[in-house]
Amino acid sequence: MSNKGQTSYFYDVIWSRFRVNRFALAGAVVVILMFMVALLAPLISPHDPAAIDAYHILLPPSLDHWMGTDDLGRDVLSRMMHGAGISLMVGFVAIGIAIVIGTVVGLLAGYYSGWADAVLMRFVDIMLCFPTLFLILAVIALLEPSIWYIMIIIGLTGWMGVARLVRAEVLSIRERDYVLAARSIGASDLRIIFRHILPNVMGPVLVSATLGVAGAILTESALSFLGIGVQPPTPSWGNILSAGKEFIEFAWWLSLFPGLAIMVTVLSYYLVGEGIRDALDPRLNR
Amino acid sequence: MLNYLLKRLIMMIPLLLGITIITFAVIHLAPGEPVEMQTALSPKVTKETRERIRKFYGLDKPLHVQYVTWVTRLAKLDFGRSFASDNRPVLDKIKERIPVTLSLNIVALILEFGLAVPIGVLAARYRDRLFDKGMTIFVFIGFSAPSFALAIFGIYFFGVVLGWLPLSGLHSLGSESLPLLARLWDLAKHVILPIGIVTFGAIAGLSRYMRSSMLEVLGQDYIVTARAKGLSERVVIYRHALRNALLPAITLLGFSVPGLIGGSVIMESIFSIPGMGKLFFDGVMMRDYPLIMGILVIGAGLTLVGNLLADLLYAVADPRIRHGKG
């Protein structure tokens, strides 16, 4: 009972629709490039990101230092390259947590409906009331700032949208004939949920995961900017920018490059996410 | 309508309770006790004093008793006193900050709707043409540019290089003695950057939403009918389509409240604006527990009010909600 062939056909169709979307394709290229930079940072970064050089502080961009040096004489490009990994890791782990929680809550609420649905969705409503940044700040400040807490708390405060989305999908999917068929041959609830319903909600989940990574990268950089995110000397785009703000009058490169990097990365994830959404739902385009 | 309002108000009660439970849970995640935090800094505090404070906050009782005591006090609008050296009631501190944050965000919200709705509608009307593509890029840049980086460059460019705008705060020194108009102008110069940046960042979501909502509506049968009976494109778009596309956008209004309030932490910190976000950030840095709890509850409460207002607006605009089951 394999449906591998059909699945790959499905992805072929999605890919062929995605491919013709130039914005989305450009976003995907940037995303892949960023990944390569992050993975290869130790090999390709021109300098040691932690090497302090008192004779070369706050140098403007040059051939030796493409993005200049910071107030401790460290090479900004090398720090940016090492920071890329941190930013991407925070984005992916945080959204991974959010997706898992959101999907499980949405599946349970949508499939069982009744009081389970009522309780879970009221919980979602309550969580949605809090200004997310307030919750994150409170938790991180109370437990020491650390990159693990940041990833976990961004995940724990970011799953509600996914839960709502999945629930809405499940509500319509569970009425389909194939679910009825599965039930009539005696499939257990768990099997129906994970084998028959889950694969059909993965599309929209993938879209919100992609958009979510963009949001998580922004949140991490905002926290690092406020000084309660990734702690120096570990470089992250947010804390490079934060350190640079004091020198903006005579060292613009310290703020500009991390700012641009965040923007381009967030934009790319967003374009990819929108591209997947349009590819999944051809009604909206074409 | 009154019935609907009443129903909505009753539905808010469990949500409010939930908000207090989560706030309470978050605060008790922290290792150590608030008393330790408050007294750790001064070695002069004796064991007896510490015990007295514990008693005062009810920290010697089990958690559920603490919670009930706290919520009962909240119900009487007693948010406790700040741990900060001024030791003032938390509610007073929040009350004087709320108007600043709220009015800045309301202005930003009005600007956001005023700009995003026309952008979305026109982008849908001139779909895939130059305007649509240009606006797509513009709103995406606004969405993805980190607001704090924009703020820094804004301050540097408009404040330092050009010298047009003040660097921080809400008023210039001695502005109290200026005539009313000059004072307003002074205020405007202080808030234009923070409001502009918040608006720029928020336009993307709504304008994209309006665009796809318009595209969907424009494909409906009644639009085809309207066109078929020879109505001008303007009437079709602005009378028939816009109304229906605009309705769902109203719910976005309520949803955007927590984001705006949360974002105020960043903007108010950078621009030294004495609002709720700055108060919260300072409170978090000093581990001012009563203040943190108070702002979490009030911030979430404001979202509830925002959602309620959005729903009421929706009911006013859409008779199906007003008279239906809602």
Cβ separation B144–A258 shorter than 8 A: no
How many angstroms separate the CA of residue A87 from the nearest CA in chain B?
14
Tell me the pLDDT band of B194, cut-offs 50, 70 and 90: very high
- CB of B101 less than 8 A from some CB of A: no
Q: Are B249 and B206 in contact (CB under 8 A)?
A: yes
Pick the more confident residue, B228 or B50.
Answer: B228
pLDDT in tens, B75-100: 888 888 887 777 788 899 999 999 99
Per-residue pLDDT, averaged over B45-60, amounts to 68
User: Which residue in A122, A127, A128, A130 has the most chain B C-beta atoms within 10 A of its own C-beta, making it the best mutation to test that interface?
Assistant: A130
pLDDT for the residue numbered B114: 92
Closest residue in B to A215 (Cα) is B144
Six-digit token string for B170: 């809400």
Tell me the pLDDT band of A285, cut-offs 50, 70 and 90: very low
Cβ separation B152–A241 shorter than 8 A: yes
Could you tell me what percent of chain A has a pLDDT over 70?
A: 96
H helices of A45-173, in order, are 76-112, 114-129, 132-142, 147-156, 160-173
Average pLDDT, chain A: 86
pLDDT for the residue numbered B44: 57
Cβ separation B22–A245 shorter than 8 A: no
pLDDT for the residue numbered B326: 42
Distance of CA B323 to the CA centre of its chain: 30
The most confident of B56-65, B73-82, B265-274, B283-292, by mean pLDDT:
B265-274
The most confident of A47-56, A60-69, A99-108, by mean pLDDT:
A99-108
Could you tell me what percent of chain A has a pLDDT over 90?
A: 34
**Weakest mean pLDDT among A49-58, A176-185, A233-242, B96-105:** A49-58
> 3-state class of A75 per DSSP?
strand
- CB of B40 less than 8 A from some CB of A: no
C-alpha span between B125 and B74 (Å, rounded): 51
> What does each C-alpha distance from A31 to A21, A266, B87, B203 come to in angstroms?
15, 9, 50, 24
pLDDT in tens, A93-104: 999 999 999 999
Q: Are B116 and B210 in contact (CB under 8 A)?
A: yes
User: Which residue in B132, B138, B140 has the most chain A C-beta atoms within 10 A of its own C-beta, making it the best mutation to test that interface?
Assistant: B140
Q: Measured between CB atoms, which of B30, B149, B266 is closest to A241?
A: B149
Asked whether residue B235 is assigned to any structural domain, the reply reads yes
Pick the more confident residue, A12 or B196.
Answer: B196
- Spell out which residues of chain A touch residue B303, defining contact as CB-CB under 8 Å: 128-131
Asked whether residue B35 is assigned to any structural domain, the reply reads no
> What does each C-alpha distance from A201 to A9, A171, A213, B8, B36 come to in angstroms?
17, 11, 18, 31, 48
Q: Measured between CB atoms, which of A132, A271, A284 is closest to B215?
A: A284
Closest residue in B to A227 (Cα) is B285
- CB of B282 less than 8 A from some CB of A: no
Asked whether residue B16 is assigned to any structural domain, the reply reads no
Reply yes or no on whether the pLDDT at B31 is more than 70.
no
User: Which residue in B136, B148, B209 has the most chain A C-beta atoms within 10 A of its own C-beta, making it the best mutation to test that interface?
Assistant: B148
Counted across chains A and B, CB pairs separated by less than 8 A come out at: 140
Could you tell me what percent of chain B has a pLDDT over 90?
A: 19
C-alpha span between A242 and A214 (Å, rounded): 19
Asked whether residue B2 is assigned to any structural domain, the reply reads no
Reply yes or no on whether the pLDDT at B233 is more than 90.
no
Distance of CA A55 to the CA centre of its chain: 39
Reply yes or no on whether the pLDDT at B276 is more than 50.
yes
pLDDT for the residue numbered B37: 57
- Spell out which residues of chain B touch residue A211, defining contact as CB-CB under 8 Å: none
Cβ separation B258–A262 shorter than 8 A: no
| Residues spanned by the domain of B313 | 94-317
Length of chain A in terms of residues written: 286
Asked whether residue B4 is assigned to any structural domain, the reply reads no
How many angstroms separate the CA of residue B84 from the nearest CA in chain A?
16
Closest residue in A to B133 (Cα) is A23
Per-residue pLDDT, averaged over B31-37, amounts to 58
Per-residue pLDDT, averaged over A168-190, amounts to 88
Asked whether residue B165 is assigned to any structural domain, the reply reads yes
pLDDT for the residue numbered B164: 83
Per-residue pLDDT, averaged over B126-131, amounts to 88
Closest residue in A to B208 (Cα) is A274
Per the structure, how many domains does chain B have? Answer: 1
Asked whether residue B154 is assigned to any structural domain, the reply reads yes
The 10 Å Cβ neighbour count of residue B185 is 13
Reply yes or no on whether the pLDDT at A278 is more than 70.
yes
pLDDT in tens, A74-96: 888 889 899 899 889 999 999 99
ipTM summary value:
0.84
- Class of the domain covering A3-280: mainly alpha
C-alpha span between B100 and B191 (Å, rounded): 11
Q: Interior CA angle at B169 toward A245 and A144, to 5°?
A: 55
Asked whether residue B122 is assigned to any structural domain, the reply reads yes
> 3-state class of B81 per DSSP?
strand
CATH of the domain at B110: 1.10.3720.10
Cβ separation B18–A132 shorter than 8 A: no
Query: Which amino acid type is present at position B83?
Result: F
